[in-house]
Amino acid sequence: MSGSLNAAAAALNSSLAVDVNMAQQDVRGSQAWARALARSGLITKEDLYAILGGLETISKELASETFLFAESDEDIHTAVERRLTELIGAPAGKLHTGRSRNDQVVTDFRLWMLDAIQAADSGLAGVQSALLERAEADWGVILPGYTHFQQAQPLLLSHWWMAHFWALQRDRERLVDLKQETGVLPLGCGALAGSGFVIDRFALAADLGFAAPAPNSVDAVSDRDFALDFLHCASMIGLHLSRLAEALILYSTREFGFITFADEYSTGSSLMPQKKNPDPMELVRGKSGVLIGLQTGLMAVVKATPSAYDKDLQEDKAPVMEAASLLEMLLPVTAGALRTLQVNREKIAAALDPAMLATDLADYLVEKGVPFREAYQAVGAAVRWSVEQGVSVCDLPLETWRGLHPAFAADVKEVFQFPRAVARRASWGGTAPEAVRLQMERARKMLALGGGQP
């Protein structure tokens, strides 16, 4: 090709601003490639030592932020090779033997993402730890459980906290699978057809910490499933954080008053002095939408790439890196907000409506031999009657109960005890204290062992 690229086109073509984040990974990949070339006899030991030494110098310059980029640096690969040539001269020109930027860039990206997966997992473990701490600190608090935003049945607040723990556990397990998917080495596949030199790609994979080399060179340079799956994992993490944030925002309102956020996780109003806004949690909720958008955007890019490498794939890194950056912010903020919020036990207790024990009333009749559907109708009639009379269902006189169904007896009053209702749900996964203690103990062990940690 003759002639130079139009200035605007060159700016569009450049990816340095994004892939500079993979600079250290590019150095690592180049060091391993140099060793692979030496093992195959394609470069001498002297060349190898010169290349490794030069790359080590570049790594230190990058770490100390003394590496100087040039206007001609199109991407991180050309920048590193240019600087290597400045440092060691002719041997630098041998480094790209049998290698293409197509397999080089996706190798760098996978190496970078393996680090991002580990960081996301650590952040998730931090939120899980905060949830477990809350479950321990708030032990014994009985919370109105809601479905359809209507009071449903009483729960231990500890059980509610742990519900969010297990959602995040699924996220960690997805990261385990993602690490396995990402740990496949593209390097040595060349532009699309494989390297023209005999390279031991299994040794190369082991050198870089990959589980195995990619089995097909065309697929290896075009596969961005791992990037899309990272964005899916990030979207699911954001979704779970958003659900938690939404509930906490609702519970912090004056109408509920179940919790109060600490001042360091709240903001004031520029106009209304009385306001204490849960902005950090609102941003957690909002950023989850951004994460979903990043996933959708990259899917739209990848769907139009037929095979091997197309320049469209340059757009793969920015959304993944933005998603990783968002997780680095959202996870510690969520953990901090959880650890510092105040649970208002009196407010929660005052919100408990005896009508939530309607199912327990039906169960009471079932235990006396009444078919459930018949029991359900009798209790429904009791609730309707209490609403019409403007009294609490727990205050109905015994004669009213007996009029609704002959199986009701004086011991019906014992049903109206929230601790009793909670304690009855003692099966595995239930809200009874012994069941919740079992899941908390299991959670402690998982965190101690690394949980779903890759």
Q: How confident is the model at residue 14 (pLDDT cuts 50, 70, 90)?
A: confident
Residue that the structure tokens 């002719």 belong to: 90
C-alpha span between 439 and 128 (Å, rounded)? 13
* Residues 179 and 300 occupy one common structural domain: yes
Average pLDDT score over residue span 169-195: 96
For the chain, give the percent of residues with pLDDT over 90.
83
* Residues 239 and 304 occupy one common structural domain: yes
pLDDT tens digits for range 125-134: 999 999 999 9
Single out the residue in 294, 315, 350 at which a domain terminates: 350
**Helices 76-88 and 101-137, packing angle to 10 deg:** 110
Residue 256 lies in a domain: yes
Q: How confident is the model at residue 271 (pLDDT cuts 50, 70, 90)?
A: low
Q: Decide if pLDDT at 396 tops 70.
A: yes
Q: Which residues are catalytic?
A: 148, 269
Average pLDDT score over residue span 31-59: 97
* Residues 253 and 400 occupy one common structural domain: no
Residue 244 lies in a domain: yes
More reliable by pLDDT, 7 or 371: 371
pLDDT tens digits for range 299-354: 999 998 888 888 888 899 999 999 999 999 999 999 999 999 999 999 999 999 99
pLDDT of res. 276:
83
Predicted TM-score (pTM) of this structure:
0.93
C-alpha span between 403 and 389 (Å, rounded)? 16
Residue 454 lies in a domain: no
Residue 1 lies in a domain: no
Single out the residue in 331, 350, 369 at which a domain terminates: 350
* Residues 297 and 376 occupy one common structural domain: no
Rounded to 10 degrees, what is the CA torsion of 108, 109, 111, 114? 170
pLDDT tens digits for range 342-385: 999 999 999 999 999 999 999 999 999 999 999 989 999 988 98
pLDDT tens digits for range 283-304: 999 999 999 999 999 999 999 8
pLDDT of res. 10:
74
| Domain that includes residue 79, residue range | 7-97
* Residues 431 and 371 occupy one common structural domain: yes
pLDDT of res. 454:
45
More reliable by pLDDT, 309 or 58: 58
* Residues 145 and 294 occupy one common structural domain: yes
Q: Decide if pLDDT at 168 tops 80.
A: yes
The β-bridge partners of 156 are 142
pLDDT of res. 15:
79
CATH number at residue 231: 1.20.200.10
- Please state the domain count of the chain: 3
**Helices 317-340 and 101-137, packing angle to 10 deg:** 10
CATH number at residue 66: 1.10.275.10
Q: How confident is the model at residue 269 (pLDDT cuts 50, 70, 90)?
A: low
Phi/psi of residue 184, each to 5°?
Answer: -115, 125
* Residues 269 and 187 occupy one common structural domain: yes
